Chain A
Amino acid sequence: MHVIVVGAGEVGTHIAQLLSREGHDVTVVEQDNARVAEIDRMLDVSIVKGSATDPAVMRRAGVCDADLVVAATSSDDVNLVASLIAKLEGARQRVVRLERPSLRLADAAKLHEAVGADRVIDPDAAVAKEILDLLSYPGATEIAHLAENELLMVSARLSPTAPFVGQRLSDIAARLAPEWDFIVCTITRDGQTIVARTDQQLRDGDTVRIVCKTNARTEVMRQLGLAAREHHRLMILGGGRTGEMLARSLLAKGHIVSIIERNESRANELADTIDGALVLLGDITDGQLLVEEDIGSYDAVVALTGEDDANILACLFAKKAGARETIAVLHRLELRGLLSDAGVDVAISPRTASANEVLRTLQGGVSAVATSLDDDIAFYEVEIAAGSKADGVTIADLRLPHDTLVAAVSRDGETSMCRGSTQLQPGDHVVFTAHGKDVEHLRKVFAKS
């Protein structure tokens, strides 16, 4: 598919990278020389230098026959104009990043229709939602809702006390047979992620990703050794847009929320507009302030400022002081692997949540729903097409690529975990995990080529 990504910022670059990895023909439109040079060095994509508000530039990028245009700059105005040009020039689908609330509300539906926005994304809102999900499952490092919320993907690092530790997957499967409510899909050990095999034994410190039925989540959380008690007192470090959205959602759910914000006028604004939150003025790396506010007594501390260093430092401080869980938003991901050992339980990036939103828009049979920053193994959903290679064939006979695991199938509203003997039928919705490089091949297997 031919995809044009407008804007090579943090979000745009990640989207381009994911799509490129999946084998799509990606063109990036960017006007900043430095960014153009960096993208050229990093990614295997075409680059058109210029403004996306210029139809000539968009035509050079091939907008006329583009399957998807993703307008992902940090400017709402540029994104709207780029989408309008894409619509007028005949691009099939358009995803638009919009941040201003007035442009995202239902009242703006006519505007979306006018500029041809098929899907609207907002990285801040996506991050806030992702954190909200994580806070609902204390201890989990990733959460994704699959198959219209019938299935849940939970990722967690196994603690020494987790019941799973020391067990072989085959033993777990035998114990739960004949009905499985969950399936272990991937194991990350020593920085390497592999698709789980039945003969593997789970160890303390492994990070596992499990797909389970949503109604079995409590049992899965118990097996993973995660806390059954939900967080109640939460501290948000950084009162930006994401922090504000997160605070509002948490307060609506009855949580006790404190926010630390460095900018005085912004702190005043938050105190004025958010009812029920304790807004504190100060720097999140000010140890005296954190001690004074007894940061260790909070169930969860979420660092959301734009400064990675400050986020990490504050989370480390909070963890050492006794906070149950710490979540840091990171924009630079080089040191991400070291953080969990140091005391930052979860590190998330604004780019992944937005990327998942974009990838869901992609049609053609397969759409990714959960990507990871750690590896290129992602979770995908696909509808089995009549006449495809998978039509009427058991999973074992499909001869899927190595490291591909079909986890669950949803048929006529019923969801079940898959085995090798599961026979696929047209209309089935299948959730599987695979490397990005294999997606093109899998598309041909599950959907009509």
Chain B
Amino acid sequence: MSRSRAEEYFRPSAEANELGSKTFGFVLALGATAPVLALSGVLGLADESSHSAVMLAVAAAFAVFASTVLRRRPWPSELRRVHTLNGAVVALATLGLVSTMIYLLTGAFNRFDDALYESVAGVSTSSLTVLADPSVLSDAQLIWRSGTQWLGGLLGLSLGVGLLPFLGGSRELADPRDRRTVSQALASRPVAALKRVLSIYSLVTVVVAAALFAAGMGAIDGTAHALSSVSTGGFSTEVGSVGSYNSVAIELATIVVMAGAGSSVALVWMLWRRQFSDTRRSFELRVVALVTVVATSWVLVARPNSGHGFWRDLLDSLFTVVSLGTTTGHHVDDWASWQPGLVMLLLILLAIGGMAGSVAGGLRWIRAVTLVSFVWRELQRQLHPNSVRVVKVGQSAISEASVDRIHAQLVFVSSACACGAILLGFAGLGVVEALSLALSALSTAGPGVSDSGTIVNASELSRGARLVLMPMMFAGRVFLYPALVFVGSLWFSGERSISARSRRVRPSQPAKVRR
């Protein structure tokens, strides 16, 4: 590389005054926190606690700070993959720390580690809470707890749909129809895509809150459940989660919301635009629909008889499958006590998670199908060494580079799961509990299965176990790779050296963000 090229690569951001990606992530996280804090404060005014005042004050301070900084300092003019990932990790960490501060300021938790754990569980959209009884929190705190999940979901969605596809990320893996929609229907530029994602996400949240209110939930419960359901967070204001309401309407509404949240945003966009035929052609959607039908049927047949009749059992079975399949974590039954085969099925659904381009965590179905196609190809190669086979998902051929990335991700997930399970075992958990919690944390679902066959709550876990779960949930929320890249960039003394490497292997100029 010539000296001038090298200098160009190692040069600081194009504009000296420009915000760095990490600073930008920090400021943006504070700015995004402000409206959610304000909402929590406003809705909490009714219960006459002092929490609302604290939240409204902090919200105002964040809003002023963020707007001032963003007005005075230009945004990063160039979008680079590594910078974006680092910015996202910083934003998520900021959200977690801000949430910890709010919990401590409002007295939700007395201990820093409890507040930090609950915050990480919130922003990573995990339903594994240390609160044995959420009703001890004030209305404002409950909304804020759900709001952290909403913010975590928004960040995941922005990263997965709004930014990475434009930086040569997982776009290739999207269904062709989705890919077209992400790039053309959603937007052709990152900033426009981000705005559209934010609009859809916010609008859907409002609609869901109204629907849950209409179905019989109170305003606080409805808002909290809307925030935690559209983000596949799964936090509930009730100990028994959605099952506490014993309402068919609420269950149905929640199923629809969870299914929507576990679906690709592009598909939701197509449905919104009434492009039904395009939606039907999505291969991943068909796979998910088939798996949901089969799994629900299996659960319905093999689950213990609840005595509520066939239709109610069917609804509850569907609820459980959709909730775990989308890594949401709401529950209406104590599914962990069911037949071990069923529990394993549900844990596998939880590990695979939702569709590509959705809020849900997990490996994603498109990747699972790709891996199956890859295994089939390798089996064929054993039989026919000269065979030429392309890894395909539906009608789309998957490039070898994408297949390699999926393998790397699978290895990373498996390794992280194994290490986490080992550490959880050292922290005193049994084999089943450690494995299920490790899997659940990485998928950002939350619920685990105890060795005695009950759904595990984090309040029952030791502090050591929670310490192990926190980085796993965090990594799961930012799609694992960014976490790894972030750690890598620290290891290689700063992101610049990594970005230089990444630019060397990416000859084309990355997309630019324009305001």
Contact = CB atoms under 8 A, between A and B. Distances in A.
B386 to A, nearest CB: 5
Nearest to B389: A271
A412 interface: no
A281 interface: yes
A14 B397 CA distance: 41
A280 B397 CA distance: 17
B384 A268 contact: no
Contacts of B388: 261, 264, 267-268, 270-271, 279-281
B382 to A, nearest CB: 12
Contacts of B389: 271, 279
Contacts of A281: 386-388
Interface in B245-286: none
A227 interface: no
B49 interface: no
B12 to A, nearest CB: 44
Interface string A212-224: 0000000000000
B380 interface: yes
A296 to B, nearest CB: 16
A279 B390 CA distance: 10
B380 to A, nearest CB: 7
Interface string B384-401: 111111101001010000
B397 A278 contact: no
Interface string A265-292: 0011011100100111110000001001
Contacts of A264: 388
A268 B390 contact: yes
Contacts of A280: 384, 386-388
Nearest to B396: A272
Contacts, number: 34
A282 B390 contact: no
A280 B385 CA distance: 8
B390 A292 contact: no
A278 B376 CA distance: 12
A292 B382 CA distance: 12
B300 to A, nearest CB: 33
Contacts of B380: 278
Contacts of A272: 390, 392, 397
- Name the residue in B386, B389, B390, B397 with the highest tally of chain A Cβ atoms < 10 Å from its Cβ: B386
Contacts of B385: 292
A49 to B, nearest CB: 45
A271 B390 contact: yes
A293 interface: yes
B386 A282 contact: yes
Interface size class of A (residues with CB under 8 A): 10 to 19
B390 A289 contact: no
A264 B386 CA distance: 11
A282 B389 CA distance: 14
A289 B386 contact: yes
A278 B387 contact: yes
A272 B222 CA distance: 49
Contact of A293 (B386, B390, B395): B386
Nearest to A270: B388
A282 B397 CA distance: 22
A391 to B, nearest CB: 57
Contacts of A267: 388
- Name the residue in B380, B388, B395, B397 with the highest tally of chain A Cβ atoms < 10 Å from its Cβ: B388
A279 B387 contact: yes
A275 B395 CA distance: 8
Contacts of A279: 387-389
Contacts of B390: 268, 271-272
B170 to A, nearest CB: 20
A300 to B, nearest CB: 19
- Name the residue in B387, B392, B395, B397 with the highest tally of chain A Cβ atoms < 10 Å from its Cβ: B387
A78 B390 CA distance: 36
A268 B400 CA distance: 12
Contacts of A271: 388-390
Interface string A249-275: 000000000000100100110111001
A235 B475 CA distance: 50
A275 B389 CA distance: 10
B28 to A, nearest CB: 41
Interface in B473-504: none
B142 to A, nearest CB: 52
Nearest to B395: A275
Contacts of A278: 380, 384, 387
A293 B380 CA distance: 12
Nearest to A239: B388
Contacts of B395: 275
Contacts of A293: 384, 386
Interface in A164-192: none
Contacts of B387: 278-281
A267 B388 CA distance: 7
Contact of A292 (B386, B392, B397): B386
Contacts of A270: 388
A185 to B, nearest CB: 44
B248 to A, nearest CB: 43
B501 to A, nearest CB: 30
A158 B56 CA distance: 97
Interface in B357-381: 380
A278 B388 CA distance: 8
Contacts of A282: 386
A119 B459 CA distance: 79
Nearest to A258: B384
Contacts of A275: 392, 395
B383 to A, nearest CB: 9
Interface in B443-479: none
A115 B297 CA distance: 59
A246 B418 CA distance: 50
A275 B373 CA distance: 12
B388 to A, nearest CB: 4
Nearest to B380: A278
B286 to A, nearest CB: 15
Contacts of B386: 280-282, 289, 292-293
A259 to B, nearest CB: 9
Interface string A19-56: 00000000000000000000000000000000000000
Nearest to A279: B388
Nearest to A293: B384
A281 B384 CA distance: 10
- Name the residue in A264, A275, A278 with the highest tally of chain B Cβ atoms < 10 Å from its Cβ: A278
A341 to B, nearest CB: 32
Nearest to B394: A275
Interface in B170-222: none
Contacts of A268: 388, 390
A261 B389 CA distance: 13
A269 to B, nearest CB: 9
A264 B387 CA distance: 11
A282 B384 CA distance: 12
Contacts of B384: 278, 280, 292-293
B385 to A, nearest CB: 7
Interface string B29-47: 0000000000000000000
A279 B377 CA distance: 12
Interface in B384-425: 384-390, 392, 395, 397
A237 to B, nearest CB: 13
Interface string A108-144: 0000000000000000000000000000000000000
Given A272-B390, A278-B380, 9 more contacts: A264-B388, A267-B388, A271-B388, A272-B392, A278-B384, A279-B387, A281-B388, A289-B386, A292-B386
Interface of B: 380, 384-390, 392, 395, 397
10 contacts: A267-B388, A268-B388, A271-B389, A272-B392, A275-B395, A281-B386, A281-B387, A282-B386, A292-B385, A293-B386
Interface of A: 261, 264, 267-268, 270-272, 275, 278-282, 289, 292-293
The 5 closest A-B pairs by CB, nearest first: A267-B388, A271-B388, A280-B386, A279-B388, A272-B397
